[in-house]
């Protein structure tokens, strides 16, 4: 089991299915990633952010504005380790 940064938690299979559906509805047709290739692995529901594993091994941190206005944003990282390192850098 992974440990996650503050505010983040691993998602279960039911949440994976639900999140894939929510993203499929929210993503514009021009979005560069195919929702079918994404697997939700973690969420930070305090800020409506989700971490997805892409089929090629990268991870995508996405913001899905569930409780407010705005569109989906996405930042791609080469791996889960890259995401963790860069998140630490962003906090400084």
> Which of 5, 31, 35 minimizes the C-alpha distance to 20?
35
pLDDT over threshold 70, residue 44:
yes
Structure tokens at 36: 């079918």
CB crowding 36-49: b at 16 or more within 10 Å, else e = eebebbbbbeeebb
Please answer whether residues 63 and 72 qualify as being in contact, where contact means their C-beta atoms are separated by less than 8 angstroms: yes
Report the predicted TM-score, pTM, of the whole model to 2 decimal places.
Answer: 0.82
Distances (CA, A) of 16 to 50, 57, 87, 88: 10, 17, 22, 25
CATH of 9-91, one of 2.30.29, 3.10.450, 1.10.10, 1.20.120: 3.10.450
What per-residue confidence (pLDDT) applies to 35?
79
């Amino acid at each position: 089991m992974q440990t996650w940064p503050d505010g983040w938690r691993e998602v279960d299979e039911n949440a994976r299915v639900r999140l894939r559906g929510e993203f499929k509805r929210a993503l514009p047709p021009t979005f560069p990633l195919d929702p079918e290739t994404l697997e939700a692995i973690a969420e930070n529901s305090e800020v409506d952010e989700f971490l997805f594993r892409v089929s090629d091994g990268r991870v995508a941190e996405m913001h899905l504005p569930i409780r407010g206005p705005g569109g989906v944003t996405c930042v791609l990282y080469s791996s889960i380790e890259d995401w963790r390192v860069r998140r630490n850098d962003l906090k400084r």
